[in-house]
């Protein structure tokens, strides 16, 4: 049974292991580390127009809660409203791009939801798969315990202890006890917190189980300390009376950025190829506008939005979530980035999740570990900053054009597209309204 969300670092390691399998699909790197030329987006603005061009997109969505948010865009007709028809209808292909990039490489799909940080381990062999949008970051790692039975990091820090002191106090409660972790999980998070406390994972009696089995073991009293990495399982336990003693967000917020770079490489979003982007730039802008519109919806009405894709999530993943439970995964586990806050990904070098900084450090770390060669760059596997800046530029152009546009049906249509985050066609229609006046 496919799980709604796997451990993201585990997926990254799995991708690294399978790098050699993709060599035959490489798009022509002369040598490891040589890299492709930086992607150059179109320089000219789109021409004014009264209608939105139609485009059919071969799309695939991966079987995880945040990766399936786009299905709500199908249900709500948002893709139709920007001229995009999803192929195969109605929901696209079921392709797990977190597990394998092959569906993009072999052109089974043209765009798909996935995990941008799964691309870098394959940069020696794959130089044309890129992320074009970032929707959220994942904060899933945590140690759960029965609520109220143990002191949490928040409680200890509020009593006046430093972060380092609080971590030691929290983990002193765990030392010598059974701790159930997900089978195959990367130990980065656990090594970091135990090291902060001056110990190691050998201080625990560690058992490994699959995510669903962790829930059953916790509910049957087999251990008080568990750490599933699946959103479904985390939410299930927290709704069932468990709470995090310490979680990834607290670690990232309190530790030096240099110490948490691997943990911050948790970008979820949308992938394509450079070839597709070069030929279908405006379609990617419209597709991304739908994603930002859905993020607005999820923030404004999480349960109502979840209702529009929870049935598909359950049928695809074999889960049995309610809309409330699915919505809960976007409250602390998936940290959505709306259009305004997304600017920090690309423009604020001091931001914890600044893409260039985090991705660059991830690449350097992979190169140091000899997973990939030297000389790769973050811009090899992401054009998301170009997409975001293009949308921001069209928003500015639309603001100017709408301010001058006459009161007309076309101007109202432009304003509707603007409100739906489709700044490209908001500008095109407003400019056409001005030309007609």
| Domain containing residue 256: CATH number | 3.40.190.10
| Residue 133 or 230, more confident | 133
Q: Read off the pLDDT of each residue in 370-381 and give the average, rounded to a whole number.
A: 92
Checking phi first, is residue 147 left (phi over 0); if not, alpha (psi -120 to 50) or beta?
beta
- Which segment, 31-35, 188-192, 385-389, is predicted with the most confidence on average? 385-389
Q: What is the bridge-based pairing of β-strands 129-138 and 334-336?
A: antiparallel
Question: Are 126 and 243 in the same domain?
Answer: no
Percent of the chain with pLDDT over 70: 91
Give a yes or no: residue 410 inside a domain: no
Question: Are 256 and 277 in the same domain?
Answer: no
Question: Are 75 and 99 in the same domain?
Answer: yes
Question: Are 126 and 94 in the same domain?
Answer: yes
Question: Are 131 and 13 in the same domain?
Answer: yes
Give a yes or no: residue 420 inside a domain: no
Distances from the Cα of 147 to the Cα of 152, 172, 219, 259, 324, angstroms: 9, 17, 13, 29, 20
Q: Given a cut of 50, is residue 260 above it in pLDDT? A: yes
Percent of the chain with pLDDT over 90: 65
> What is the predicted pLDDT for the residue at 28?
32
Give a yes or no: residue 408 inside a domain: no
> What is the predicted pLDDT for the residue at 43?
86
> What is the predicted pLDDT for the residue at 34?
44
| Angle at 345 (CA atoms; ends 305, 396), nearest 5 degrees | 80
If pLDDT is split at 50, 70 and 90, which confidence band does 36 have? low
Distances from the Cα of 17 to the Cα of 89, 108, 185, 370, angstroms: 34, 23, 15, 12
Question: Are 40 and 128 in the same domain?
Answer: yes
Q: Given a cut of 90, is residue 10 above it in pLDDT? A: no
- Which segment, 15-19, 94-98, 271-275, is predicted with the most confidence on average? 271-275
Q: Read off the pLDDT of each residue in 229-238 and give the average, rounded to a whole number.
A: 82
> What is the predicted pLDDT for the residue at 194?
96
Question: Are 160 and 225 in the same domain?
Answer: yes
How does the average pLDDT of the chain come out, rounded?
A: 88
Q: Residue with structure tokens 């985090």?
A: 358
> What is the predicted pLDDT for the residue at 401?
98
Give a yes or no: residue 348 inside a domain: yes
Last residue of a domain, one of 241, 262, 283: 262
**135: helix, coil or strand?**
strand
Window from 106-110, 153-157, 253-257 with minimum mean pLDDT? 253-257
Question: Are 343 and 291 in the same domain?
Answer: yes
| Residue 320 or 202, more confident | 202
Which ranges of 220-322 does DSSP label H, i.e. alpha helix?
Answer: 231-239, 248-254, 261-264, 274-279, 281-300, 302-307, 310-317
If pLDDT is split at 50, 70 and 90, which confidence band does 14 have? very low
Q: Read off the pLDDT of each residue in 137-144 and give the average, rounded to a whole number.
A: 89
Give a yes or no: residue 409 inside a domain: no
Counting the structural domains of the chain, the total is: 2
> What is the predicted pLDDT for the residue at 300?
97
Question: Are 60 and 18 in the same domain?
Answer: yes
> What is the predicted pLDDT for the residue at 9?
42
Residues 396, 400, 406, 412: what is their CA dihedral angle, to the nearest 10 degrees? Answer: 10
Within 13 Å of residue 167, how many CA atoms lie on the same side as its CB? 21
What token pair was written down for 139? 């904060």
Q: Given a cut of 70, is residue 88 above it in pLDDT? A: yes
> What is the predicted pLDDT for the residue at 309?
97
> What is the predicted pLDDT for the residue at 107?
94
Give a yes or no: residue 278 inside a domain: yes
> What is the predicted pLDDT for the residue at 345?
87
Domain range for 237 is 142-262
Q: Read off the pLDDT of each residue in 424-437 and give the average, rounded to a whole number.
A: 96
Last residue of a domain, one of 388, 408, 428: 388
Window from 8-17, 90-99, 359-368 with minimum mean pLDDT? 8-17
Question: Are 252 and 335 in the same domain?
Answer: no
Q: Read off the pLDDT of each residue in 130-145 and give the average, rounded to a whole number.
A: 92
Give a yes or no: residue 300 inside a domain: yes
**8: helix, coil or strand?**
helix
Last residue of a domain, one of 262, 286, 305: 262
Alpha-carbon span 226 to 245, nearest angstrom: 10
> What is the predicted pLDDT for the residue at 2?
34
Give a yes or no: residue 231 inside a domain: yes
> What is the predicted pLDDT for the residue at 257?
73
Question: Are 125 and 166 in the same domain?
Answer: no
Question: Are 164 and 94 in the same domain?
Answer: no
């Amino acid at each position: 049974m496919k799980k709604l969300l796997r451990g993201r670092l585990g997926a990254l390691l799995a991708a690294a292991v399978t790098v050699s399998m993709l060599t035959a699909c490489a798009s022509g790197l002369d040598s490891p580390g040589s890299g492709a030329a930086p992607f150059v987006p179109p320089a000219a603005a789109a021409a004014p127009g009264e209608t939105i061009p139609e485009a059919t997109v071969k799309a695939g969505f991966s079987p995880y809660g945040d990766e399936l948010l786009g299905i709500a865009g199908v249900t709500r007709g948002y893709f139709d409203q920007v001229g995009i028809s999803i192929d195969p209808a109605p929901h696209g292909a079921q392709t797990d791009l977190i597990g394998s990039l092959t569906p993009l490489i072999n052109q089974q799909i043209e765009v798909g939801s996935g995990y941008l940080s799964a691309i870098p381990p394959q940069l020696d062999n794959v130089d044309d798969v890129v992320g074009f949008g970032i929707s959220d970051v994942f904060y899933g790692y945590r140690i759960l315990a029965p609520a109220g039975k143990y002191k949490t990091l928040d409680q200890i820090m509020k009593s006046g202890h430093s972060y380092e002191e609080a971590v030691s106090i929290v983990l002193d409660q765990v030392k010598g006890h059974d701790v159930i972790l997900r089978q195959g999980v990367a130990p980065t998070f656990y090594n970091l917190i135990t090291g902060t406390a001056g110990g190691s994972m050998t201080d625990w009696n560690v058992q490994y189980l699959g995510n669903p089995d962790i829930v059953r073991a916790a509910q049957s009293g087999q251990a008080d300390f568990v750490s599933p990495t699946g959103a479904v399982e985390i939410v299930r336990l927290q709704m069932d009376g468990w709470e995090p003693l310490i979680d990834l967000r607290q670690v990232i917020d309190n530790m030096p950025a240099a110490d948490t770079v691997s943990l911050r490489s948790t970008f979820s979003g949308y992938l394509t190829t450079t070839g597709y982007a070069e030929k279908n730039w405006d379609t990617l802008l419209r597709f991304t506008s739908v994603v930002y519109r859905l993020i607005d919806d999820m923030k404004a009405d999480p349960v109502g939005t979840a209702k529009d894709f929870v049935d598909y999530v359950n049928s695809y993943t074999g889960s049995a979530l309610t809309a409330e439970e699915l919505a809960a995964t976007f409250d602390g586990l998936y940290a959505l980035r709306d259009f305004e806050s997304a600017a920090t990904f690309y423009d604020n070098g001091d931001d914890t999740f600044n893409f260039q900084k985090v991705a660059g450090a991830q690449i350097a770390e992979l190169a140091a570990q000899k997973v990939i060669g030297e000389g790769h760059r973050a811009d090899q596997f992401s054009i998301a900053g170009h997409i975001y800046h293009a949308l921001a530029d069209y928003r500015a152009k639309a603001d100017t054009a709408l301010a001058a546009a006459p009161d007309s049906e076309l101007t109202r249509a432009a304003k509707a597209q603007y409100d739906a985050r489709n700044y490209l066609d908001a500008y095109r229609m407003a400019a056409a309204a001005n030309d007609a006046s």
